[in-house]
Amino acid sequence: AVVKSYAAVDLGASSGRVMVGRVGPDSLELSEAHRFPNRPVRVPEGLRWDVLGLYAGVLDGLRAAGPVDSVGIDSWAVDYGLLDADGALLGNPVHYRDRRTEGVAEKVWATLPAEELYTATGLQYAPFNTLYQLTAARSTAQLDRARRLLLMPDLLTYWLTGEQGTELTNASTTQLIDPRTRDWAYGVAERLGIDLGLFAPLRRPGDPAGVLRPEVLEETGLTGPVPVTAVGSHDTASAVAAVPASGERFAYICTGTWSLAGLELDAPVLTEESRAANFTNELGLDGTVRYLRNIMGLWLLQECVRAWGETDLGALLLEASKVPALRSVVDAGDSAFLAPGRMPERIAEACRASGQPVPGSPAEVTRCILDSLALAHRKAVQDAQRLAGHTVDVVHVVGGGTRNALLCQLTADACGLPVVAGPTEAAALGNVLVQARAHGLVGDLAGMRRLLVRTQPLTRYEPRGGTERWRAAQNRLAGD
């Protein structure tokens, strides 16, 4: 049988990796060619991505990957690079955790009320949506000089191929796309004075995105032509495409730096209740909508580990599993936890402010974080079902958090539903499968998922009861 190889470049907020997927009619194998840290850098003007370092990691990864039939790139959402009239990058891309967007949303809503913005774009409020970033950047020398804006995966694709485009799933996180037409929200851009001419034409997952430039072939030792294929270039779009679900009655939680928890729908939910509950409608593969809520995710733990220094994560999680459950919880959906720094202290302060025991040791803080994440998962899964009128009987957990058995078990307990955990590298698998599909190797989304179910190792966690305690904790947090 024909087996083809695809390189998936997957850039997460904490690490980048180049994975190689080998796909046949009834086989799917993924291996890691190269992994590198993604470390934001604080310079005098703010928090920035080291995009040249990331590009170098991509080239190293393609060299390590060896001959492949195509390359696809996905990354975290909303951030972008600006190019001048010569096509050269203007400065380092701003990190979505940078403070420049503080207080910007309120200014935008004075021109375009939040309710109208939600009906027009379906996007939840997050200070870092590209729309707010562009508003924050208004009249800066850099934006004035910019002739082109490329979202992160599109920027790297441009450097690899010389061709510019704006991939739709990731474009849907800018808050400048109408989820009903799946095209630009022209009215929103006009009212807010955002020039849509900055964006390159839209392309969709599966579209060709050029071939590796001769210099790239030379640097990576690859032999051309090597096509680059547009994938669901938003990492969450790729990860959801690789949720190994069998039917439609499932919720998913993409766990990594963030937890993205919700449902796959075939139409957006644009009601006022949905807006008030801060659910987003991002665009997925084949006309699907990712109806979900952003939860701070393992970022909370990453930041604590960074503060504690040298930490054995396995040992820490074992200790945390012995700490009594649900002693104190914080609101893991609160954007007060967005910025980096002082995380153990900020968590302790939140517990103190809500009159709960203050966690002290790293194990106690870790337990507080994992309980809080599981609780936020529960709330998102429940709210999404209610708001969308779509019930589920299983929760799929994908991403780095699947390696955290305690988190998976607590999520099953909190949701009162079985959790199926895996695959860990879901975004890379979704990336690979969209390339394989574009080259005629796999069928539709359902076919992709059948192949995942047959080939990927999955772990099942049954809920252990005690939902009453989780409900009580949820009420405690809501201040009831």
Minimum CB separation of residue 137 from ligand ADP in Å reads 25
- Kindly tell me the burial class for residue 277, based on how many C-beta atoms sit within 10 Å of its own C-beta (0-12, 13-18, 19 or more): middle
Phi, psi of 199 (to 5 degrees): -85, 145
Q: In whole angstroms, give the CA distance from residue 125 to residue 115.
A: 11
Interaction between residue 311 and ligand ADP (CB under 6 A): no
Minimum CB separation of residue 117 from ligand ADP in Å reads 27
Instruction: Reply yes or no on whether 235 is catalytic.
Output: yes
Q: Which residue from 8, 13, 188, 394 is in contact with ligand LRH, where contact means CB under 6 A?
A: 13
Nearer to ligand LRH, 13 or 387 (CB): 13
Minimum CB separation of residue 189 from ligand LRH in Å reads 21
> Do the beta carbons of residue 11 and residue 72 sit within 8 Å?
no
> Do the beta carbons of residue 204 and residue 196 sit within 8 Å?
no
Question: Which residue in 69, 235, 371, 413 is the catalytic one?
Answer: 235
Interaction between residue 61 and ligand ADP (CB under 6 A): no
Nearer to ligand LRH, 80 or 470 (CB): 80
Minimum CB separation of residue 315 from ligand ADP in Å reads 11
Taking CB under 6 A as the binding criterion, the range among 241-249, 297-305, 348-356, 368-376 that sits at the site for ligand ADP is 297-305
Q: Which residue from 7, 12, 441, 452 is in contact with ligand LRH, where contact means CB under 6 A?
A: 12
Interaction between residue 80 and ligand LRH (CB under 6 A): no
Is the backbone of residue 70 left (phi > 0), alpha (psi -120 to 50) or beta? beta
> Do the beta carbons of residue 60 and residue 36 sit within 8 Å?
yes
Which amino acid is present at 117? L
Q: Which residue from 133, 170, 259, 302 is in contact with ligand ADP, where contact means CB under 6 A?
A: 302
Tokens of 201: 């034409």
Query: Within 10 A of 11 (CB to CB), how many other CB atoms are there?
Result: 25
Residue 153, H or E segment: helix 152-161
* String of contacts with ligand ADP for each residue 249-278, x by CB under 6 A: -------xx---------------------
Question: Which of ligand ADP, ligand LRH, none interacts with 302 (beta carbon under 5 to 8 A by kind)?
Answer: ligand ADP
Question: Which of ligand LRH, ligand ADP, none interacts with 288 (beta carbon under 5 to 8 A by kind)?
Answer: none
Residue 6, H or E segment: strand 4-11
Q: State which of positions 229-268 bind ligand LRH (CB under 6 A).
A: 234-236, 257-258, 260
Binding residue count for ligand ADP, defined by CB under 6 A: 15
| Exposure string for 369-390, b = 16+ CB within 10 A, e = fewer | bbbbbbbbbbbbbbbbbebbeb
Interaction between residue 177 and ligand LRH (CB under 6 A): no
Question: Which of ligand LRH, ligand ADP, none interacts with 403 (beta carbon under 5 to 8 A by kind)?
Answer: ligand ADP
As beta bridge partners, residue 80 has 151
Minimum CB separation of residue 293 from ligand LRH in Å reads 10
Interaction between residue 76 and ligand LRH (CB under 6 A): yes
Q: In whole angstroms, give the CA distance from residue 202 to residue 191.
A: 21
What lies within 8 Å, CB to CB, of 407 at 6+ separation is 255, 298, 370, 373, 374, 401
Interaction between residue 318 and ligand ADP (CB under 6 A): no
Question: Which of ligand ADP, ligand LRH, none interacts with 437 (beta carbon under 5 to 8 A by kind)?
Answer: none
Q: What angle do CA 150, 295, 260 make, to 5 degrees?
A: 60
Interaction between residue 78 and ligand LRH (CB under 6 A): yes
Nearer to ligand ADP, 205 or 401 (CB): 401
77 three-class SS? coil
Q: Which residue from 232, 268, 359, 401 is in contact with ligand ADP, where contact means CB under 6 A?
A: 401
Tokens of 358: 């203050």
Interaction between residue 232 and ligand ADP (CB under 6 A): no
What torsion do the CA atoms of 265, 269, 275, 279 make, to the nearest 10 degrees? 0
Minimum CB separation of residue 389 from ligand ADP in Å reads 30
Interaction between residue 14 and ligand ADP (CB under 6 A): yes
> Do the beta carbons of residue 293 and residue 380 sit within 8 Å?
yes
Interaction between residue 356 and ligand ADP (CB under 6 A): no
What DSSP character marks residue 402?
Answer: G
Q: Which residue from 313, 336, 353, 453 is in contact with ligand ADP, where contact means CB under 6 A?
A: 313
Nearer to ligand ADP, 121 or 366 (CB): 366
Minimum CB separation of residue 427 from ligand ADP in Å reads 7
What is the number of residues in the chain? Answer: 480
Question: Which of ligand LRH, ligand ADP, none interacts with 260 (beta carbon under 5 to 8 A by kind)?
Answer: ligand LRH
> Do the beta carbons of residue 199 and residue 131 sit within 8 Å?
no
Phi, psi of 30 (to 5 degrees): -125, 135
Q: In whole angstroms, give the CA distance from residue 198 to residue 134.
A: 11
Interaction between residue 94 and ligand LRH (CB under 6 A): no
> Do the beta carbons of residue 304 and residue 369 sit within 8 Å?
yes
Task: Report the catalytic residues.
Answer: 235
Residues that bind ligand ADP (CB under 6 A): 12-15, 256-257, 298, 301-302, 313, 399-401, 403-404
Which residue ranges make up the site for ligand LRH (CB under 6 A)? 12-13, 76-78, 96, 234-236, 257-258, 260, 294
